[in-house]
Amino acid sequence: MKKILIAVSSLVIFSACHDKRDRYAKPVIPLGGGIGGNYSIVVFPRLHDTGVIARIFIKYASNTAPSDTNSYDMAKTSVTATGKEPQVHFDSLYTGTYFIRAIYGAAYADTIIAIDSKAPAETDAYLHLK
């Protein structure tokens, strides 16, 4: 009985420690992307659950971070529209994969957005800076 209890306890501990991020990874699609299409990405930078004015960088056809901010294809600063939280719009995008980074002081957040032909015309991305 003691061996069974130890085995079950070990299984519970190892299961709790397992990194679950892989379970939610988006499927890999071709890395195309760029300007000239019919899709938009709207980025909402947030720090401690509050919208902030941050610098947002986008890299087309990428699922990894460029070596420095000069290597991104475009950068914009988020703006606050009347009655809305700070945001940045990247418009006229083709289907493809986009690496996005938000920077606010020393805090930053990254995400990868994959747009395929079945995606809605506008995709929202909430980046929680840390």
CATH assignment of the domain containing 63: 2.60.40.10
pLDDT reported for residue 45: 98
HSE-up of residue 45 (Cα within 13 Å, Cβ side)? 27
**pLDDT tens digit sequence for 50-92:** 999 999 999 999 999 999 999 999 999 999 988 899 999 999 9
Tell me the pLDDT band of 26, cut-offs 50, 70 and 90.
low
In this structure, what DSSP letter does residue 23 have?
G
Whether 103 has a pLDDT exceeding 80, the answer reads yes
Residue 17 within any structural domain of the chain? no
Structural tokens at position 41: 């990405």
Tell me the pLDDT band of 30, cut-offs 50, 70 and 90.
low
Domain enclosing residue 52, as ranges: 28-128
**How is 31-65 classified by DSSP, letter by letter?**
----EEEEEEEEEEEEETTEE---EEEEEET-SS-
The SS3 call for residue 24 is helix
Residue 71 within any structural domain of the chain? yes
pLDDT reported for residue 25: 52
Q: What is the 3-state secondary structure (H, E, C) of 59-106?
A: EECCCCCCCCHHHCCEEEECECCCCCCCEEEEEEECCEEEEEEEEECC
Residue 1 within any structural domain of the chain? no
Mean pLDDT of the chain: 84
φ, ψ at 61 (rounded to 5°):
55, 45
- pTM for the model stands at 0.77
Structural tokens at position 83: 């009655």
Residue 9 within any structural domain of the chain? no
Residue of higher predicted confidence among 51 and 31: 51
Which residues, including other chains, have CB under 8 Å from residue 106's CB and lie 6 or more apart? none
Structurally, how many domains does the chain consist of?
A: 1
